[in-house]
Structure 1
Amino acid sequence: MNISEVKQIRITDFLQSLGHRPVKIRCGQYWYLSPLRTENTPSFKVNDPTNEWYDFGIAEGGGIIELAMLLYQTSNINEVLRLVSAQADSVPCSRSRPFCPLPGRIEDTMKNITVSPLNHYALLSYLHSRSIDTGIAQRYCKEIHYDLYRRHYFAIAFENVSGGYEMRNPYYKGCIRKKDISIIEYAAGGKQEHVCIFEGFTDFLSYQTLLKQNNAIVCVQGMCDHIIMNSVSNLKKTLEVLGEYKYIHCYLDNDLAGEKTTETIAGLYGIRVVNEAIRYIDYKDLNDCLRGKRR
């Protein structure tokens, strides 16, 4: 097999041929006990639709070739191709899946993109329905307009450090341009002792709303920086910027991905890390807490 053919092999089939079976499957996401290390709780995820994996314990991920390099402990591509091919040939059910190229990102087909201050009544109404203070949202967000398939659309836009925008409206959630983390500094050019970490910008806006309400959920009343991951898949990028902080407060979701992400951060930075999600343990995330929507 060549590189293109190996990439067509489903990672889930490849893992099964090696004796690894998922502990949990949900919405095309397969959770495993990591095949790369010893653990008791699954923290290795395979996104079957995109055929990509991510190990929250080591903050690494990629496709089947990157996985095979780690499993077989070699960076020699030819050796990796030989070993994966032999494994696929040894188990008929794990042969290459029929090639079906994934559709391009819908964001790549958007045209006439414009970014402006957040003022559209429909977007402000959506934020109000999520109990988010609209004044706070206008401080940190913009609105983005674009054409798609000859129709005009608009969404809330939240900028990341690479100049991309996380986009959200009642019917759509995505990212235009490059996916990356967002950093909100208390003072430009200088790091604070405290930093709070959020999975998405809705959580960050919810936190700011709770802060305005003097809610006990808020852990830091004074000077603090904020990091918005914009996806737990950005964990590695997040870890790279945490080293300068003395206190790290994790306000992630109360689900498996959020818990594993917090565990990984704590594994690297130890007692500097506080899992603040226990403050809203009866809720899935900060916005549900803000809205009083228990699980």
Structure 2
Amino acid sequence: MNTIEAKRIRIVDYLRLLGHEPVKVRGGQYWYLSPLRKEDTPSFKVNDRLNEWYDFGMSEGGNIIELAMLFLRTSSVSEALRLIEAQTGAAPQLRTRPHNAVPDAIEEMMKGVEVVPLNHHALLSYIHSRGIDTQTARQFCREIHYELHRRHYFAIAFGNVSGGYEMRNPYYKGCIGQKDISVVGQAAGTRQKHVCVFEGFMDFLSYRTLLKRGDAVVCIQAPCDHIVMNTVSNLKKTLQVLESYEYIHCYLDNDLAGQKTVETIAGLYGIGRTVNEAVRYADYKDLNDCLRGKKR
């Protein structure tokens, strides 16, 4: 078995084969009691659409190969592949990705990639539909054009610290280049005492829109830097950056993943330094829904 074959195995089916059933399933997110350690409340999440896992108690995550490496307590990919092959050898039906999974390396098939200022009317219309201020979106985002299967596409692009771009339009959400966190400083070359943490850049743009309006209910009244995780699987990278801040304000989703992320940050840096700001919009799923007045 090679890495491509292994990554086609659905992690949810793999865990079921090993005797692990989800405690809770919500919107394609499967929550388990961690198969890697003992616990009483589920903090191990599988994103079935992306076919990735994350253990909030360990601040570790990744694909099925990285999971097998932790099972074996090895850094050898070949040993992990042998384990997966042995465990799934009698269950060939596990060798296919679910029909709704993202195709392997779709971003690698994109050609003619061009990044330009955000000006396309369709993207600005999408920004407007999300309640986000156009000038704010243009300040922090770009516009990316690319070809895929001989067809032209375009999306909003939000840069990360590795030079990659988070991409979003009404029909697609992905990343081109290396997946990583995004850091937006209040002032160049100066680190603030406060930092706000967001899961995705739409929530960050929602916060900046509210801030521009003079909001004092959701936004904190202090200069602050901003970190966008771009996926909860980047929590480990986020934690490393958070170490240098005195106050950490978490603007995450009002769901189990958001709750576990805040608990993990507070567990490492203390309740005194960590503030769950999601209580400011408790009636909403996330910050963008709050901006649009879309209650749960």
TM-score by length of 1: 0.86
Note closer, same or farther for the CA distance 1:219–1:87 as it changes in structure 2 (3 Å cut).
same
**Amino acid of the structure 1 residue aligned with 2:158:** F
Q: Is the 8 A contact 2:210 2:219 kept in 1?
A: no
**Structure 1 vs Structure 2 CA RMSD:** 2.7
Quote how far apart the aligned CAs of 1:87 are: 5.5
The answer to whether the aligner puts 1:260 opposite 2:270 as a matched pair is no
- The answer for the alignment partner of 1:105 in structure 2 is 105
- The answer for the alignment partner of 1:178 in structure 2 is 178
In 1: Cα distance, 2:47 partner to 2:184 partner: 30
Note closer, same or farther for the CA distance 1:143–1:35 as it changes in structure 2 (3 Å cut).
same
**Amino acid of the structure 1 residue aligned with 2:252:** L
**Amino acid of the structure 1 residue aligned with 2:283:** D
In 2: Cα distance, 1:131 partner to 1:4 partner: 40
- The answer for the alignment partner of 2:12 in structure 1 is 12
Uncovered stretches (5+) of structure 2, i.e. residues with no partner: none
- The answer for the alignment partner of 1:32 in structure 2 is 32
In 2: Cα distance, 1:145 partner to 1:63 partner: 28
- The answer for the alignment partner of 1:292 in structure 2 is 293
- The answer for the alignment partner of 1:233 in structure 2 is 233
Larger Rg over CA atoms: 1
In 1: Cα distance, 2:6 partner to 2:213 partner: 54
- The answer for the alignment partner of 2:187 in structure 1 is 187
What count of residue pairs does the alignment treat as equivalent?
291
TM-score by length of 2: 0.86
SS in 2 for 1:168: strand
Quote how far apart the aligned CAs of 1:220 are: 2.5
Q: Is the 8 A contact 1:6 1:96 kept in 2?
A: no
Quote how far apart the aligned CAs of 1:202 are: 0.7
**Amino acid of the structure 2 residue aligned with 1:274:** V
In 1: Cα distance, 2:214 partner to 2:2 partner: 59
- The answer for the alignment partner of 2:23 in structure 1 is 23
Note closer, same or farther for the CA distance 1:86–1:121 as it changes in structure 2 (3 Å cut).
closer
In 2: Cα distance, 1:2 partner to 1:164 partner: 27
Quote how far apart the aligned CAs of 1:84 are: 5.9
The answer to whether the aligner puts 1:281 opposite 2:273 as a matched pair is no
SS in 2 for 1:173: strand
Uncovered stretches (5+) of structure 1, i.e. residues with no partner: none
In 1: Cα distance, 2:38 partner to 2:211 partner: 40
